[in-house]
Chains A and B, each alone.
Chain A
Amino acid sequence: MAVVFEKPKSLANVPLHYCPGCPHGIIHRLVAEALDELGIEGKAIGVAPVGCAVMAYDYFTCDMIEAAHGRAPAVATGIKRCRPENIVFTYQGDGDLASIGMAETVHSAARNENITVIFVNNAIYGMTGGQMAPTSLPGQVTQTSPYGRDVKHCGWPIKVCEMLATLEGPEYITRVAVNNVKNVNKAKKAIKKAFQNQIEGKGFSLVEVVSACPTNWGMTPQQALEWVESDMLPYYPIGVYKDRSAAKEEG
């Protein structure tokens, strides 16, 4: 018998601190698989965010740095500009990337910084206990929108991929989900491509991964994945929003 599935070596064999059923672990694994399969673990430098994934530095076996809230793309820029031969990636949540770090996100995309950004969108601030995120859906109940997100009062959720795709700068902007096997496999391909782009020097690649937060959504893990399908994906459709190289090939 041959091993057909095992933990990638770029993912440390330690317990993850995430809640039961939290897809962060799946997304970590996809990143680690990409590092393994592309043979870049030894060259990789990861930037951890502030949020639930803050301790990602313990989980990836490559060199890691912990950034201030929202600043991961700036930190990644500093590293990549010093060490262009290394593979630099950030792993950020929605509060980190789309709220406090929006300027860093937009400008690193505009510069077409040759980095890979993994953006986990679960429509809530997980680490601090379930507050409204820049991507919380209209009507979504959170600790700080207890009557449901009222768009008249606090505005509309931000569609990061759609927004970034309007920029000339970035190479590759795509949205995937991890709510079922099929989507996880697609997400893996997108993440791998986002790293491959960096290897080829193509520039800024961002993969938005629509994820779930069973704990703060008040659902079972399976219910949460179903809510991704029924509520999240209609607002945040899966798809490639920008792929400069593919567009060029198509002429």
Chain B
Amino acid sequence: MAERVLMKGNEAIAEAAIRAGCRHYFGYPITPQTEIAAYMAKKMPKIGGVFLQAESEIASINMVYGAAAAGMRVMTSSSSPGISLKAEGLSYIAGSDVPAFVVNVQRGGPGLGGIQPSQSDYFQATKGGGHGDYKMIVLAPASVQEMASLTIKGFNLADKYRMTAMILADGTIGQMMEPISFEDAEIEAYEKPWALTGTNCERKHNIVNSLYLQPDELEKKNFERYERYKIVEETEAMWEEYMMEDAELCVVAFGIASRVAKNAVAAARAEGIKVGLIRPITLWPFPTKALNAAADKVKGFISVELSMGQMIEDVRLATQCKRPVTLCNRCGGMIPSPDEVLESIRKAQKGEF
């Protein structure tokens, strides 16, 4: 059995990134993700890597763009307001089809919001955030172990599909400590013939670019990109099902909310309520098939979120509104208690959606 170490969620991301072959980190300080930068600042110089504190989030994401175009495994991390600033770069990275790895340890918003945990960047992460038609692979860890394993997975997926993989975590998982192991660190290597390496006067020049002034060319690029996204949707969706075999109600929750929800589901089961949990691990691609299949079995869904209700829209879309969906939420940095979720389950059991 692999060695288990006690780590903070944010540090687990940093260590996993290094194990995934990331040797370049560009960031800008913001709470509550700063442990990632601090870890990188300490480690990178000792392993021949680069840690660079940029002058802004905008500069750091553009450094990521440059490094990614140069063919390197590279990352940045930030929290909600910082991700808004990075949105420009994320759009260019998508438009140029280069792989990048980005972490958002979410805090409450909008605006400067707060520094307590939140999931209110769901729309920003899954629907775009920057301008133009594009997607990012969005991974939602619910434990410190997953902070690590989804980081390694994220680097692999980013390279595989030449797109951004984002860890959408929250302040709670970022800050909490749990024992983890790195035993399943499997690094996939992909050829990068498009990378900027210098032509060495041996090949035609590579151009990394998102500008297509001819509308038919731009359309073609977008169509091609969405063909790739379709493959991601069909093959890369990940989710966990808990007590769903005989469930008559389905709770849907990700990240820290899913841990609260799991406790509530167990408590409801103790009361004899047949309820289960579907926990999306990838928010994009969303586990549409799992939810749609569940909609044929259960009488309703409860979306538990640390936001004003964002994922709930995808739950409705995935289930094609076949069953009612209700929201159990707290926001602004507040986390629902298991009792609050249990109360929502009880109501749903009575048909109150």
Contact = CB atoms under 8 A, between A and B. Distances in A.
A74 B66 contact: yes
B197 A78 contact: no
B209 interface: yes
Interface string B257-282: 00000000000000000000000000
Nearest to B98: A65
B208 A61 contact: no
B112 interface: no
Given A45-B198, A75-B66, A107-B59, A57 B207 contact: yes
Interface in B43-91: 50, 52, 54-56, 58-60, 62-72, 74, 88-89
B64 A78 contact: yes
B141 to A, nearest CB: 26
Q: Which of A41, A76, A82, A104 has the most B CB atoms < 10 Å from its CB?
A: A82
Contacts, number: 138
A78 B205 contact: no
Q: Which of B52, B68, B200, B208 has the most A CB atoms < 10 Å from its CB?
A: B208
Contacts of A80: 66
A42 B56 CA distance: 32
Given A74-B59, A81-B24, A62 B64 contact: no
Contacts of A60: 205
Contacts of A66: 96, 207-211
A151 interface: no
B201 A41 contact: yes
Given A64-B205, A82-B50, A71 B59 contact: yes
A78 B70 contact: yes
A43 B198 contact: yes
A63 B72 CA distance: 16
A42 B201 contact: yes
Contacts of B72: 82
A42 B205 contact: no
A45 to B, nearest CB: 5
Contact of B63 (A58, A75, A83): A75
B70 A83 contact: yes
Interface residues of B, number: 40
B337 interface: no
Contacts of B210: 66
A82 B67 contact: yes
A86 interface: yes
A47 B66 contact: yes
Contact of A78 (B74, B92, B202): B74
Interface in A28-86: 41-45, 47-48, 54-55, 57-58, 60-68, 71, 74-83, 86
A62 B50 contact: no
Given A57-B209, A61-B205, A77 B66 contact: yes
B209 A81 contact: no
B206 interface: yes
B214 interface: no
B199 interface: yes
A103 interface: yes
A71 B196 CA distance: 17
A78 B96 CA distance: 15
B134 interface: no
Nearest to A103: B55
A27 B68 CA distance: 28
Nearest to B201: A42
Main secondary structure of the interface of A (DSSP, over half): mixed
B207 A64 contact: yes
A107 B66 contact: no
Contact of A79 (B89, B92, B196): B196
Given A68-B92, A75-B62, A79-B66, A63 B198 contact: yes
Nearest to A44: B198
A82 B198 contact: no
Contact of B62 (A54, A58, A68): A68
A74 B63 contact: yes
A63 B205 contact: yes
Nearest to B63: A78
A8 B207 CA distance: 20
Q: Which of B72, B89, B200, B207 has the most A CB atoms < 10 Å from its CB?
A: B207
Contacts of B67: 78-79, 81-82
Contacts of B254: none
Q: Which of A47, A78, A79 has the most B CB atoms < 10 Å from its CB?
A: A78
Contact of A81 (B63, B88, B197, B200): B63
B194 to A, nearest CB: 10
A65 B209 contact: yes
Contacts of B229: none
Given A61-B205, A65-B207, A65-B209, A77 B52 contact: yes
A187 to B, nearest CB: 24
The 9 closest A-B pairs by CB, nearest first: A78-B66, A78-B63, A74-B62, A75-B66, A107-B55, A78-B67, A42-B201, A71-B62, A66-B209
27 contacts: A41-B201, A42-B198, A42-B202, A43-B198, A45-B70, A62-B199, A63-B196, A63-B198, A63-B206, A63-B207, A64-B206, A65-B66, A65-B196, A65-B208, A66-B96, A66-B210, A67-B62, A75-B66, A77-B59, A77-B63, A78-B24, A78-B62, A79-B69, A82-B70, A83-B70, A83-B197, A86-B197
